[in-house]
Amino acid sequence: MKRTITICTVALSLFSGLSATPETAEVSKLLESYFEVQQELASDNLVAARKAAAAIAERAEDPNEMTAAAVSVAEADDIVAARTEFQGLSTQILALVESAGTEGGLVYLARCPMAFGGKGGTWLQDNKTIANPYFGSQMPRCGGVIKEIGSLTAMGITQMPDKQCCPK
């Protein structure tokens, strides 16, 4: 009996923050636009990258660092500036994904060691095939996946466990 209660208590504590909430759904929508920015920068398409970044700024509920980073990409004068600002947007989106989760599949954190004069740059992708947003067509496959970030669905979690699962 004690073992059952302990297992249920541990399970509830582990899964308490993992249910798909409206916040998680919103993160997934933001990620869709973010992935579009990433792909368009990898394809050297500044106009489309700006448009997708503007969509992120519009979707974000509160003005914050992520919104500011998205606006910076959307208003970049050239592709070099957009790519530089994209690093800040990537940092903000990564923090959001790690704290709120997503509804979709896995998200991949990629890194190019050559970006920004050898300092390296990171970004998120929706697949493992590298599409480098910092070098585009110059070095489209430079970099590698350094982390897989699980989503609720990828972990097989579709809803919270019933809080009444444990006998009293």
* Both structure tokens of 25: 């759904």
- Report the chain's mean pLDDT, rounded to a whole number: 81
* Domain range list for the chain: 21-149
Predicted confidence at residue 19, as pLDDT, reads 42
More confident residue, 163 or 47: 47
Residue owning tokens 């809803």: 159
- State the burial class of residue 110 (Cβ atoms within 10 Å of its Cβ: 0-12, 13-18, 19+): buried
Helix (H), strand (E) at residue 53:
helix 46-59
| 158 neighbors 8 (Cβ within 8 angstroms) | no
Q: pLDDT by residue (tens digit) across 70-106? A: 999 999 999 999 999 999 999 999 998 888 888 878 9
DSSP letters of 97-148?
HHHH--SSS-EEEEEETTHHHHT-EEEEESSSS---TTTGGGSTT-SEEEEE
Overall average pLDDT of the 117-133 stretch:
97
| 116 neighbors 135 (Cβ within 8 angstroms) | no
The pTM for the full model equals: 0.77
Crossing angle for the helix pair 79-100 and 65-74, nearest 10 degrees? Answer: 150
